[in-house]
Chains A and B, each alone.
Chain A
Amino acid sequence: MSVLAVRDLAKAFGGVQAVRDISFAVDSGELLALIGPNGAGKTTCFNMLNGQLRPDHGSVTLDGREITGLKPRAVWRLGVGRTFQITATFGSMTVRENVQIALISHHRRAFSFWPRARDLYGAEADALLARVGMAEQADRPAAVLAYGDLKRLELAVALANAPRLLLMDEPTAGMAPKERVELMALVAGIVRAEGIAVLFTEHDMDVVFAHADRIIVLNRGELIADGKPDAVRADPRVQQVYLGGGSTFGHAG
């Protein structure tokens, strides 16, 4: 069974139909790329998947369980990690503390008053940071990190509750081209090893074609293609959208 299954999901803002009855599924161990021009509805779709936005209609299931309408924190408890297009980290805390907070929440110690937070789950946090290549920066304040490092920190935080599904909204935006490919290689490694399902959005087609197992294409809220990278690349509607938009889709791969 698919880890994530989306059916007829739709959302409108006033007159703008941001997402229009889309359906797709992600299997465990699979990297599914969600691509599309700016404003296509990718972030809106993510926001409905993790409960930040309530869809107008449609359903989202995780391992067959209906999660539509649940709050983000409840969705997370069921094993969905998320990274944001605009990074959201705890600026007044160190990198390690950022991960410790997620671990404290995961272990349901949030209402604990006795121990010091910094003494809890330090080793676990360091192990997560090592996996994303942030071990050396563990003691730096999150507020001073370079953008690429923030993205890595977000990944470590998203992995803290051993998720079944990772939602990554533009995980490599703001990184240098070499860094991007590296980060996605890292994600791919983790995902395959643990059988996590990943849905990610990405503008860099090199990254998409290097790592995505499958691609779905969104345009003006509509799902216009779903298939293996080669098939999607050859799809005339997709080429129309990208070439018409003057984008760099053509030189990809």
Chain B
Amino acid sequence: MTLADITIQLLNGLAGASSLFLVAAGLSLIFGVTRIVNFAHGSLFMLGVYIAYSLTDQFGRGSPLAFWSCVLAAGVAVGVIGFVVEILLLRRIYQAPELFQLLATFGLVLVIKDVVLKLWGPEDLLGPRAPGLRGAVQVMGKSFPEYDLVLIAVGPIMLGLIWLVLNRTRWGVLVRAATQDRDMVGALGVNQAWLFTGVFALGSFLAGLGGALQVPREPAQLFLDITVISDAFVVVVVGGLGSIPGAFLAALLIGVIKAFCIGIGDVQAFGTTFSFSKFTLVVEFVVMAIVLVIRPWGLLGKPAGEPRHTAATEAPLKPLPGWLVLGFAGLGAALLVLPVFTQSYLLILLIDVFVFALFAASLHFLMGPAGMVSFGHAAYLGIGAYAAALMVLRAGIPMEATLALGPLAAALGALLFGWFVVRLSGVYLAMLTLAFAQIVWSIAFQWDGFTGGSNGLIGIWPPAWAAEKEAFYHLSLVLCAAGLLALRHIIFAPFGAILRAGRDSPLRADAIGIDLRRHQWFAFTLVGAFAGLAGVLHVFSKGSISPETLGIARSVDGLVMVLLGGVQTLTGPVVGAGVFIFLQDEIARRVEFWRAILGLVIIVLVLAFPQGIVGFLRGRFMRAAA
């Protein structure tokens, strides 16, 4: 690359960083004050893009004033949407466990996505270019868009404005105080509710504005919500949770590195071609992984104190009462003989339930007893599935062997990633799991020659003896039930008990000779194997696999299943998986916008049963029994 190339890529990076910074700053502010990790922040960004598209398309072509008014109006519109969302939904769940807040914002993601689909349709929409800034300037003999130059200035300007608001207004002082100590602000007699609403509206406005500014550069697309939220998470985590200057620095860093990867393109080395432009999909996650390992609290963040205790401590685990054991045995027997009585569609659905019950139970093991919330658990489902598919297709290994080798591959993946993951805790840990999942996803997505790229792999069927739906149903039932029982058993065994102990008090665990990190590492690996087994069964039941199997959306599905059932119960994930699969099937068959319905159901469930379905039933039952 010449010096001119480098300069241009640097400018590109800076231009891209501005929007990213705005989104991340909003996310950071909201987290700092309300302690809610707003998964819907990318969706708010996407709304900003679409609203700005419509406004500028209608009114913004004439003059610069009209255009910039439209951009600002789009930001304000999203701010108002945030305001309403906070009052209708979030305000009711500030006391709920952290994970339920997260689940509620997942619900919002689904709803907003379908609303956008309904209003704007599935096509990419390219907005008008900014009046007065349609040209390019010459930078060292290369042309660079004028609009991008303006964008470069927007980042620092907004950083300055946010700084002024936070440091020079009474409201800003309250926000900063709340970020440091929420109780203190309550004690000062500040109306906390409105402070929270205001912060959420401001954060939403920043997300919307960040989206609106992108309209002249990039088309409005339906997948922006997920890509932007993962970018924003990375920026916030790299910069340090709650640190606005940190977010700015991280946005610059990542924006510039990404731009350079695109600029470098393909490089020939050691006889192979290494594609840096493909590397952009994962580079930010690599940066995050490195930063988190070196500075676990981010570039400008402060080391976190003791994590706050959200959920009430769970009651001591007890073995199931006899009648429930009988009940489950009966259910198992009924499922075994079911194929005699029923048609194959129900069997296919039930295979999905079995597979995802195992998947959800393995995630639950991690989130509940081991105390590590993973946002990227589908990675291990996917590694198991891809490993099995590749072994069958490329090496002719029989399915029977892949049932052992697939989970082994997933466990190896978990062993590798787990080494990093267990060094962190809380939100940071969750983000790192997300980062690793994204890396695995992009390998599956991009390595066309090996994994089939975005099309995935097809023609992965069980051998003759298991090819009949009934036979495969039985195979899945037996293996998944065995997996569920094994996971349950381990929770009660010394290994699982020590994990639970370490989750309750790492300090005490360390003081009685327990190497908690090693335990957690092993647990992460073990759980990866179980998720991998679910993945192998999944791929043979469908006959094909694509990168979606290990995408963020699939990890989110797993979280939803676990949280639906209730983290504090062991049967919860199984019930959650069953409810989720049937709901999804029922709604998807009947209505077009099933994701929105699912999202609404999730939101209603969170509002109605903050302890999950099984947790709720147990509470009811215990009260009735008492």
List A residues at the B interface (Cβ < 8 Å). 50, 52, 71-73, 76-77, 82, 84, 88-94, 97-98, 100-102, 104-106, 109-118, 120, 141, 143, 157, 160-161
* Complex CA distance for A97 and B505, rounded to whole angstroms: 14
Q: Are B494 and A110 in contact (CB under 8 A)?
A: yes
Q: Are B501 and A112 in contact (CB under 8 A)?
A: no
Q: Are B501 and A93 in contact (CB under 8 A)?
A: yes
Nearest-Cβ distance from residue B350 to partner chain A, whole angstroms: 29
Number of cross-chain contacts by CB at 8 Å: 107
Q: Are B494 and A92 in contact (CB under 8 A)?
A: no
Nearest-Cβ distance from residue B499 to partner chain A, whole angstroms: 10
Contact with A along B511-551 (1 / 0, CB 8 A): 11111000100100000000000000000000000000000
Q: Are B493 and A113 in contact (CB under 8 A)?
A: yes
Nearest-Cβ distance from residue A160 to partner chain B, whole angstroms: 7
A90-B505, A97-B497 known; A106 vs B492 contact (CB < 8 Å): no
Nearest-Cβ distance from residue B485 to partner chain A, whole angstroms: 13
Q: Which of A84, A117, A143 contacts B313 (CB 8 A)?
A: A143
Q: Are B504 and A90 in contact (CB under 8 A)?
A: yes
Q: List 22 A-B contacts (CB under 8 A).
A: A73-B513, A77-B513, A84-B507, A88-B507, A90-B505, A90-B508, A92-B316, A93-B316, A94-B316, A97-B497, A104-B494, A105-B498, A105-B514, A106-B513, A110-B494, A111-B522, A112-B494, A113-B489, A113-B495, A116-B493, A117-B494, A141-B316
Q: Which positions 306-331 of chain B face chain A at CB distance < 8 Å? A: 313-317, 319
Q: Are B497 and A104 in contact (CB under 8 A)?
A: yes
Contacts A112-B494, A143-B313 supplied; 17 other A-B pairs, CB < 8 Å = A52-B510, A73-B510, A73-B515, A77-B513, A88-B505, A90-B505, A91-B504, A92-B315, A101-B497, A102-B512, A104-B498, A110-B519, A111-B494, A111-B495, A113-B489, A113-B493, A117-B494
A92-B316, A105-B512, A105-B513 known; A110 vs B493 contact (CB < 8 Å): no
Q: Are B493 and A117 in contact (CB under 8 A)?
A: yes
Contacting residues, chain A, for B513 (C-beta < 8 A): 73, 76-77, 105-106, 161
Contacting residues, chain B, for A98 (C-beta < 8 A): 501
Contacting residues, chain A, for B497 (C-beta < 8 A): 93, 97, 100-101, 104, 117-118
Nearest-Cβ distance from residue A229 to partner chain B, whole angstroms: 29
Q: Are A82 and B511 in contact (CB under 8 A)?
A: yes
Smallest CB-CB A-B distances: 3 pairs: A117-B497, A88-B508, A91-B313
* Complex CA distance for A157 and B319, rounded to whole angstroms: 24
* Complex CA distance for A232 and B434, rounded to whole angstroms: 59
Instruction: Please name the residue on chain B nearest to A93 by beta carbon.
Output: B316
Contacting residues, chain B, for A112 (C-beta < 8 A): 493-495
Instruction: Please name the residue on chain A nearest to B496 by beta carbon.
Output: A117
A101-B498, A143-B313 known; A117 vs B492 contact (CB < 8 Å): yes
Instruction: Please name the residue on chain A nearest to B516 by beta carbon.
Output: A73
Contacting residues, chain B, for A94 (C-beta < 8 A): 316
Contacting residues, chain A, for B504 (C-beta < 8 A): 89-93
* Complex CA distance for A100 and B497, rounded to whole angstroms: 10
Nearest-Cβ distance from residue A43 to partner chain B, whole angstroms: 13
B500 an interface residue at 8 Å Cβ cutoff?
yes
Q: Which of A76, A100, A113, A120 contacts B511 (CB 8 A)?
A: A76
User: Which of A101, A104, A116 has the most chain B CB atoms closer than 10 A to its own CB?
Assistant: A101
* Complex CA distance for A143 and B583, rounded to whole angstroms: 37
Contacting residues, chain B, for A97 (C-beta < 8 A): 316, 497
Instruction: Please name the residue on chain B nearest to A117 by beta carbon.
Output: B497
Nearest-Cβ distance from residue B286 to partner chain A, whole angstroms: 30
B490 an interface residue at 8 Å Cβ cutoff?
yes
Contacting residues, chain A, for B319 (C-beta < 8 A): 116
Contacting residues, chain B, for A93 (C-beta < 8 A): 316, 497, 500-501, 504
* Complex CA distance for A117 and B519, rounded to whole angstroms: 15
* Complex CA distance for A204 and B503, rounded to whole angstroms: 33
* Complex CA distance for A141 and B501, rounded to whole angstroms: 13
* Complex CA distance for A118 and B491, rounded to whole angstroms: 11
Q: Are A71 and B510 in contact (CB under 8 A)?
A: yes
Contacting residues, chain A, for B501 (C-beta < 8 A): 90, 93, 98, 101
Contacting residues, chain A, for B522 (C-beta < 8 A): 111
Contacting residues, chain A, for B515 (C-beta < 8 A): 73
Q: Are B512 and A76 in contact (CB under 8 A)?
A: yes
Contacting residues, chain B, for A105 (C-beta < 8 A): 498, 512-514
* Complex CA distance for A89 and B501, rounded to whole angstroms: 8
Contacting residues, chain A, for B493 (C-beta < 8 A): 112-117
Instruction: Please name the residue on chain B nearest to A110 by beta carbon.
Output: B498
Q: Are A157 and B508 in contact (CB under 8 A)?
A: yes
Contacting residues, chain B, for A77 (C-beta < 8 A): 513
* Complex CA distance for A66 and B501, rounded to whole angstroms: 29
Q: Are A141 and B496 in contact (CB under 8 A)?
A: no
Instruction: Please name the residue on chain B nearest to A73 by beta carbon.
Output: B513
Contacting residues, chain B, for A82 (C-beta < 8 A): 511
Q: Are B511 and A50 in contact (CB under 8 A)?
A: yes
Contacting residues, chain B, for A113 (C-beta < 8 A): 489-490, 493-495
* Complex CA distance for A112 and B508, rounded to whole angstroms: 20
Nearest-Cβ distance from residue B492 to partner chain A, whole angstroms: 5
Nearest-Cβ distance from residue B136 to partner chain A, whole angstroms: 52
Nearest-Cβ distance from residue A109 to partner chain B, whole angstroms: 5
Nearest-Cβ distance from residue B315 to partner chain A, whole angstroms: 6
Instruction: Please name the residue on chain B nearest to A72 by beta carbon.
Output: B510
Instruction: Please name the residue on chain A nearest to B494 by beta carbon.
Output: A112
Instruction: Please name the residue on chain A nearest to B522 by beta carbon.
Output: A111
Contacting residues, chain B, for A100 (C-beta < 8 A): 497
Nearest-Cβ distance from residue A242 to partner chain B, whole angstroms: 31
Contacting residues, chain A, for B315 (C-beta < 8 A): 92, 141
A97-B316, A112-B494 known; A73 vs B514 contact (CB < 8 Å): yes
Instruction: Please name the residue on chain A nearest to B504 by beta carbon.
Output: A90
Nearest-Cβ distance from residue A214 to partner chain B, whole angstroms: 25
Instruction: Please name the residue on chain A nearest to B312 by beta carbon.
Output: A143
* Complex CA distance for A107 and B11, rounded to whole angstroms: 62
Nearest-Cβ distance from residue A155 to partner chain B, whole angstroms: 13
* Complex CA distance for A88 and B313, rounded to whole angstroms: 14
Instruction: Please name the residue on chain A nearest to B306 by beta carbon.
Output: A86
Contacting residues, chain B, for A116 (C-beta < 8 A): 319, 492-493
Contacting residues, chain B, for A102 (C-beta < 8 A): 512
Instruction: Please name the residue on chain A nearest to B568 by beta carbon.
Output: A92
Contacting residues, chain B, for A106 (C-beta < 8 A): 512-513
